Structure 1
Amino acid sequence: MSAPRDLDRLAKAVKTRRLELYSSRLTAAKSAGVSKDTWAKVEDGLPVRDVSYGKIDRALDWAVGSCVLIAEGGDPIPVRHVETEGGVHMVADVPQKLLPADVRHIVSDSVMATAPGLSGGKIKQISDQIVEELRRRGVLPEAP
């Protein structure tokens, strides 16, 4: 069960961030792909659909789910835009203390829990692929 949502807290955070990035509610709403009325509801502390929160997250350069995190007492997760051969990706600004070894350990634990029949070699291959993709997207540092 999730924590109760503090929509007034969310309203303040969204308005503060919107004022940093946009000249008006209308401009912000257009950027998010929501109506001006939906944006106004959020800034007025009224509930909207979770899909609308996700659109607002992206417009505010937050990871999807940040509006809900804020409403539940957490902080938004900022993202940055990273250009790759495949286009521009929004990448969460993860703490720099996250290292490739951490990612490999997390992936290994997750794979073993969900697909226990995979060999150690296959798990290593999956972990290596994920680490390389995170490096390509700028989330992890380049290999030395």
Structure 2
Amino acid sequence: MTTRDLDRLAKYVKAHRLELYPSRLAAAQAAGISKDTWHRVEEGEAVRDSTYAKIDKALGWAAGSCLVIAEGGEPVFAGEATTSSARTSASLSEEQARKMAWDTARATLPTAPVGELDTFVNELVENLRRAGIVTDGA
């Protein structure tokens, strides 16, 4: 698995936050996290995967975008069409996509039954495959 580039993620998060929110506090409140936690992300410090999921939502990114950015990809905006012109240049192996989906699902839905999480992960990976983000190769 690719090493996470948290400095790269920090730049993306800060740049997009400045477009949407007047302050870190406003962004943090929208995400449901503390201002200090948001600051940690913008400083390139590690936080829980569940925090990245909350930041994705607050910034209007599709679930998992923070992790994709940290691994060298581009964010996908929530509700963005998956036409060829809207596809990201990033690609993930099925294993990477499954791990990211599973980690995010467990972090955001901690009380969901494992079977429901498996169903969610399978559906997400298939959607990412159709969008050209998940490849069969490594």
TM-score w.r.t. length of structure 1 = 0.57
User: Where do residues 1-144 of structure 1 align in structure 2 (5 Å cutoff)?
Assistant: 2-79=1-78, 91-95=79-83
Sequence identity percentage: 58
Higher share in strand: 1
Q: Secondary structure at the match of 1:58?
A: helix
Q: Deviations over 1:24-68 (max 9, x none)?
A: 000000000111111000000000000000000000000010000
More helix by percentage: 2
Q: Alignment RMSD, CA only?
A: 1.6
Cα displacement (A) at 1:97: 7.2
Q: Which has the larger radius of gyration?
A: 1
Q: Secondary structure at the match of 2:27?
A: helix
Distance 1:37 1:97 in 2: 37
Q: TM-score, normalised by structure 2?
A: 0.59
User: Taking structure 1 as reference, are residues 20 and 4 closer, same or farther at Cα in structure 2, changes over 3 Å only?
Assistant: same
Q: Distance in 2 between matches of 1:93 and 1:60?
A: 17
- Distance in 2, matches of 1:96 and 1:74, equals 16
Q: Which has the higher contact order (CA 8 A, sep 6+)?
A: 2
The code of the aligned residue for 1:74 comes to G
